[in-house]
Amino acid sequence: MVQVVSEPTVLAPPVHNAASTHRATPSESGSFGHGLALGVGASAVMKDASLGARTKKVARNGVAVKQLVPLNFSRRLAMEKKKIIKWRSEPQKHDYPAAASYLSLIFGQEAAENAAMELESAEMSEFPAKDIFRASTLSLLGVSNSHVESDRAKIVRDEKLSPLLLFRDRRNGKLIVADGYHRLCAVYTFDENAMIPCKIAGTD
């Protein structure tokens, strides 16, 4: 008689699936607070702009369910419909004293007032938002800033924004946004390539 001895079954170690255990980091969930785990397997992905997340169909125990997947801040902004941003034909009168006040912190009162007068008589120009940021070396303020949020709301309501006032600081080789920093940030969140009307001084 031949005795049949079955070999013991060797179980393979469980395969770690990064997608099944991954939890959203603050950078992925942005300011929307959806720290949800990502599911395994997906079919159609639908965006839900009101929640700042995607609705993703996943299979769990043979049952199809929907799950929210957070979008990071930059991707959510990219999903927004690009607005046609409206501008005033000239800066508002109160923009010039505001520019002088800011410039006085850098150059002194007399030089700042002269710069404001030069800005008032300058011709209108326009530059891409991203180029103004690069030349100024300023950081982009997020929508959590109340002034940026206010200017974004104006854009959504199709209200006209006041052009920027810029000053070339030749000694330090950079551009100073004398007035309109928050407007610049607001526009950039919609379209970094948007052409921004402005007046620029300090060319001599």
The CATH 3.90.1530.10 domain(s) of the chain lie at 95-201
Tokens found for residue 103: 């410039």
pLDDT of residue 65: 60
Write down the pLDDT at residue 124.
Answer: 97
pLDDT attached to residue 45: 39
**pLDDT tens-digit map of 116-133:** 999 999 999 999 999 999
Structure tokens at 73: 């801040």
Query: CA 63, CA 154: separation in Å to the nearest integer?
Result: 45
In this predicted structure, the answer to whether residue 23 has a pLDDT above a threshold of 90 is no
Residue 42 is predicted with a pLDDT of: 38
Q: Kindly report the three-state secondary structure assignment for every residue of 9-20.
A: CCCCCCCCCHHH
DSSP bridge partners of 200 = 166
Find all residues with CB under 8 Å of 102, minimum gap 6, and list them: 112, 178, 179
CA distances from 187 to 61, 75, 140 (A): 46, 16, 11
What confidence score (pLDDT) does residue 144 get? 85
Structure-token pair, residue 122: 């300058």
pLDDT number for residue 48: 40
Contact indicator for 128, 134 with CB cutoff of 8 Å: no
Confirm if 87 and 155 have CB atoms less than 8 A apart.
no
The whole-angstrom separation of Cα 151 and Cα 156 is 9
Bigger pLDDT: 6 or 186?
A: 186
pLDDT digits (tens, 9 = 90+) for 164-195: 999 999 888 899 999 999 999 999 999 999 99
67-82 as b/e, with b when 16 or more CB fall inside 10 Å?
bbbbbbbeebbeeeee
Q: What pLDDT shows up at residue 143?
A: 75
Neighbours of 87 (CB within 10 A): 19
Please say if the pLDDT value at position 100 is more than 90: yes
What CATH number has the domain spanning 95-201?
A: 3.90.1530.10
pTM over 0.95: no
Q: What pLDDT, on a 0 to 100 scale, did the predictor assign at position 54?
A: 53
Residue 2, pLDDT > 70, answer no
- When the pLDDT of each residue in the chain is averaged and rounded to a whole number, the result is 76
CA count, 13 A, side-chain hemisphere, 116? 21
- 83-92 pLDDT, tens digit per residue, is 789 999 999 9
Q: 101 vs 55, which has greater pLDDT?
A: 101
User: Which pLDDT value is given to residue 157?
Assistant: 95
Q: How far is CA 124 from the centre of its chain?
A: 26
